[in-house]
Amino acid sequence: MHIPDSSDTQPIFPPLQTNSFACPPTWGPYITYPPGAIVGYEGTLWRCEAIHTSGAESVGAPSNNPHLWTAVGVNAPPSYYAVPQHQGQIASPYYQSGAQSPICATSVNDEKAHVSEKGFAASLGGKVSENIREAIIWEEDRKAKDKDDLKDEVHGKKFWRAGGIGVWSYSQDREEEGKKGKVWKEWVCEHDRDDWLKVARERTKFYNEADNTHIRPLFCWKIVNPGERLPIDALPIGNEQDGAVLYAARAWCEGGIHLGKAGHHLLHGASVSYGGGEVTTDTYEVFCGPIHEPYLVKWMTFPHGQIARVEGWQPVEGGREIDGAALLLAKGFFENGQHPGKVMVNDDHACIGFGGGEVWVRPFQVLAYANPHRR
């Protein structure tokens, strides 16, 4: 069976046709906005809740149309955003060996220049000094090496207060990664989808109850039940050809937690690719985080011919196969859209769901933490 390869006819990574959380456009009049579109207007980020064509300035603005728009964050000045390092026409890297280092498409230039520690940090629900957050990261990193703590995590008895650790986080240490995979594999042997959903709902409750004394990861996965709206902090990751916004989703499928896409326009709300097909679901998790602080994460770009090798950087939490193998949050360009999906470590392609099938895309990108002290 021929696996479609986006590199045959598509450019590397053209600009998004619509918004992404890294660079939201300014709202404008007489523009047709799809559900999920993110715009900036008068210092606030807004998410479109229903397809419509905007009206004249002021009258049609998001702040005057709460039935069409929901405020989702603070629209920071341009200086708060890392300047994207757009790739030129890359030729030779396509054919180099898999040992080549990935390209960091978006990175942190000077964290201190981007963040007012006493200002923006507070808006994250982290009205706590960053020194305390760093101490918590250190403590959680230490606990996450214990197999019993990992078992408590998959059983819903423990939820981490920092990102980049735990069963859903890939570890570059072979022994630690093997331990995580084994914990998941053992859990799957005795549990099913309903058990996973129960834990996912408890985990989401923990994240949503975060306050000054209850610190949570800056980025996390939250459950979306049938008929529910996407969380207010769901992060736009990609887009369809027509501009419809796509979010990163993950869901149970045949004993594994597989990554795909979610959107207001999708059948049942979300889909993941699996076994050569695209599986739709109405109960899934969506990737969430501070939409107004895009510099906390970065996209690692893997050109054609390069494998997804993780060295010296930490992917955000993803999923796992039934056998415990890690799945990373990825996206790729296909049919004039950018689609969230998954990639296995050391694979040379990402997998996305499209048109009912599973598509292999090259090149692809993997989402990673940009700052080890802010996760």
Per residue in 88-139, pLDDT tens?
222 222 222 333 457 665 433 333 333 333 333 334 444 456 778 888 888 9
CA distances from 150 to 31, 137, 156, 187, 190 (A): 48, 16, 10, 11, 16
Same-domain check for residues 55 and 184: no
Residue 66, in any domain of the structure: yes
Q: Does the predicted TM-score (pTM) go above 0.95?
A: no
* Rounded CA separation 329/278 (Å): 17
Same-domain check for residues 287 and 242: yes
Same-domain check for residues 62 and 103: no
Residue 114, in any domain of the structure: yes
Looking at the chain, which runs of residues are DSSP E strands? 32-33, 38-41, 44-48, 52-53, 69-74, 103-104, 220-224, 236-239, 245-253, 256-262, 270-274, 277-281, 284-288, 297-302, 319-320, 326-334, 337-344, 350-354, 357-361, 364-369
Give residue 99's pLDDT.
Answer: 36
Q: How far is CA 324 from the centre of its chain?
A: 20
Cα–Cα nearest to 321, from 365, 348, 299, 351: 351
Give residue 115's pLDDT.
Answer: 33
Residue 23, in any domain of the structure: no
Give residue 74's pLDDT.
Answer: 64
Spans of the chain, pLDDT less than 50: 1-20, 22, 76-100, 106-127
Same-domain check for residues 88 and 39: no
Same-domain check for residues 36 and 88: no
* Rounded CA separation 82/298 (Å): 10
- CATH number at 53 reads 2.10.10
Residue 122, in any domain of the structure: yes
Same-domain check for residues 94 and 67: no
Give residue 78's pLDDT.
Answer: 36
> Which of helix, strand or coil describes residue 320?
strand
Domain carrying residue 68: 32-74
CB 260 within 8 A of CB 285: no
Same-domain check for residues 263 and 353: yes
Phi and psi at residue 88, to the nearest 5°: -85, -160
The number of domains in the chain is 2
